[in-house]
Amino acid sequence: MAHGSSHDLAADTRALVLEEKGRLSLRPFEVAEALGPTDVRIAVHTVGICGSDVHYYTHGAIGPFVVREPMILGHEASGTVVEAGANVRHLAVGDRVCMEPGIPVPTSRASRLGLYNLDPEVRFWATPPVHGVLRRSVVHPADFTFRIPDNVSFAEAAMVEPFAVGVHAINKARCAAGHTAVIMGAGPIGLLTAVAALAGGCAHAIVSDIDDTKLEIAGTLGRISTVNVAKSDLAAEVSRITGGWGADVVYECSGNEKAASSVFEVLRPGGVCVFVGIPLEPIAYDVAAAQIKEARVEHVFRYAHVFPNCLEMLSAKTFDVTRLITRTFSFEESVEAFELAARAPAGEVKMQIVLGNR
């Protein structure tokens, strides 16, 4: 039925609804969505569970975004086009697609500058008050919907959203071929940033975390050395690997206060540090340590312009992002999936919920 007509889809209005902080239900939930001339209607196939979805569930807010009324979760999605608006040219019914979840105002000042991810008016799935996609179907602008290459699965395509964060971080680093990178944090964003760095010309990536299972997965993704910072000293390891020079690029993906305070210790003189992970509380970094090395510092917020590149990279099959998918649930198991994710069990990287036919 997941690949059925829009009529079949309309019959099942269930969605995974965050009723309020700490309370989820899978229940009928009508979302009024008209198909405009430049929109497509998509039968949702696979949705990844993101740390932000889990945080809204456990805390009811992220920064200024507060859940004030029931909201559907989920923003990392792939599916199949079941209906296309009259003016849609590049997509047709039956196309397998993944969706970029943030819709900016096309004529906004930020959008005109090419910085559409920074548009203050952007509407982003599962960020209050905008509903997410843990439901049978969704209407989305065709311009933010991308056809999946034949050799890329729905599971892989649902990884494009977090992968895009890593690719955007690599673009912000503007690094040279053959560089060495340190990636702090081996969660989905850290591991996908490591993969993106290697694909973008990094010759050697060093990933740090405190979870041995995640580090083991990291070691299977390419030329990646791993450091468990609960057991060994990252700065000493990086110094050893780089002959005392330091890493050309540091990607801080943990959002952890201790990690962020030490980013410049592992950086080479004149290197670049990219803050990728979003800390939940304000954290400090050492400006004097950055000055001594004349470090360039970049920050990333989500991504812009990279979904087609991500799909091309997945289609090239030079790495396997499915190694990051440690658990898969059915739509019916959605609430359990989130309960498990909220306990943050060791060794789990990316969990996905599959609504369509496997």
For Zn ion, the binding residues (CB under 5 A) are 50, 76
Residue nearer to Zn ion on the CB measure, 50 or 88: 50
For Zn ion, the closer CB: 76 or 95: 76
User: Cβ closer to Zn ion: 264 or 329?
Assistant: 329
Instruction: Closer to Zn ion by CB, 104 or 162: give it.
Output: 162
325/156 Cα distance (integer angstroms): 9
Q: How many CB atoms lie within 10 A of CB 3?
A: 15
266, 280, 6, 26: which is closest to 135 by C-alpha? 26
Cα 209 to Cα 132, 202, 251, 306, 347: the distances in Å are 30, 20, 13, 27, 11
Q: Min. distance of Cβ 132 from Zn ion in angstroms?
A: 10
- Minimum gap (Å) between residue 127 Cβ and Zn ion: 10
Rounded least distance, CB 126 to Zn ion, Å:
9
Tokens of 168: 């955007």
Q: How many CB atoms lie within 10 A of CB 93?
A: 14
Q: Report in angstroms how near the CB of residue 33 gets to Zn ion at its nearest.
A: 22
- Residue 198 CB, shortest distance to Zn ion, in Å, is 21
**CB nearer to Zn ion: pick between 16 and 247:** 16
- Helices marked H in 174-256: 188-199, 212-219, 234-241
**DSSP strand E in 21-150: where?**
23-28, 39-48, 61-62, 65-66, 71-72, 76-84, 96-99, 102-103, 123-124, 137-141, 145-147
